[in-house]
Amino acid sequence: MTSILLVTSSPRGPEGLSTRFATEIAEGLKVRLGGTLLTRDLTVNPPPHIAQAYIGGRVAAPEARTPEQAKAVGLAQELVDEVKAADVIVLGSGMINFGPSSQLKAWFDHITWPGVTFGYSAAGKPQGLLTGKKVYLVTAAGGVFSEGDWAAFDFQTGYLRHLLGFIGLTDVEVVRVEGTVFGPEAAKAAIAAAEVQVRAVLEQAA
């Protein structure tokens, strides 16, 4: 039985194109593969920015943690457990000022946990510990960042792939929704192109 985790993060909520197409992929995979689907909506229930309670609490012994530390570490553990339990992760990210939203960054800050989701070899090389999972990364942007003059300003897609790979999630397939700000026809074409990508993902998974 396949366990699917859907993580959405667009501040536009259900109207965000990253949320729309990530949801279509996750729900389509559930139909084709069977199993379960868990949704973590980071805009409805945003994780807090990490603070001293989390930094100190994750290195303290469980019995020595203050109530604030226990709460902060407990949330991080909950988020990590969701990722660990998933066979497939579908991640939706809408570009905000050339990068991912702060909600998504906070989620990564909680799950990027030394000794839990990554470690280091004897030679000091980082090793991701969350292996053997498939990730579908849906990124949305008003401009065109996959190529051309603006490609150098895409601090979303490459950054997210780096974070995923750092914790062991290296099997990543990217679906881009881009170029929607150049008028109604351009937006329509961008959405149609994304729909083609989504269909291809689902056909390959069937």
Binding-site annotation, residues for FMN: 10
Name beta bridge partners: 89: 5, 135
Which tokens hold the place of 54? 């989390």
In degrees, rounded to 5, the angle at the alpha carbon of residue 143 between the alpha carbons of residues 104 and 41 is 25
Instruction: Quickly count: other Cβ atoms within 10 Å of residue 84's Cβ.
Output: 16
Which tokens hold the place of 124? 């000091």
Binding-site residues, please? 10
**Phi and psi torsions of 179, nearest 5°:** 80, 30
Pairing of strands 126-128, 118-120: antiparallel
